[in-house]
Amino acid sequence: MILRIVQSKEYTEEIIQDVFVKIWNSIHQYDASKGRFYTWMINIARNTAIDYLKSKGFQNQLKNQSLPDFVYDSAELSTTNDSSDYIGFANVLESLETDKKELIDLAYYQGYTQSEISEKLKIPLGTVKTKMRNALMKLKDLLKDYQ
């Protein structure tokens, strides 16, 4: 998930190290009554990757890179394959309507906030919030068999 968000192996490795340190240092904050341990770790990883993309240091690095270093093929960077999708999550996402799939992709894989999604899609913030809630409820319904 981190690689999909930051789209760079180098940055992904840095972020994974940060994620493991955060998990180690905050393990006492995990509450099993609120969700699975895996979900808690994934949220830490996702939030860390998004925070990294929005950091001033990362933004400055992007400005200072030469063109060949900045332009890349994301397919080359992918270390995942279809066999690593153990629960068939890609298939579950494919069963969602296009607008719901797009919202989930923007929010959870590309790290957009709801306000940024509103600006990007040129729809009101309230509509984004409602559609996002509906998309997550539909996704939850589709995933209930995997718990």
The class that CATH gives domain 81-147 is mainly alpha
Domain ranges of the chain: 1-69, 81-147
Mean pLDDT by runs of 10 across the 147 residues of the chain is: 82 90 92 88 90 72 54 48 54 80 82 86 90 86 71
CB 12 within 8 A of CB 6: yes
Fold (topology level) of 1-69: Rna Polymerase Sigma Factor; Chain: A (1.10.1740)
Identical fold, 1-69 and 81-147: no
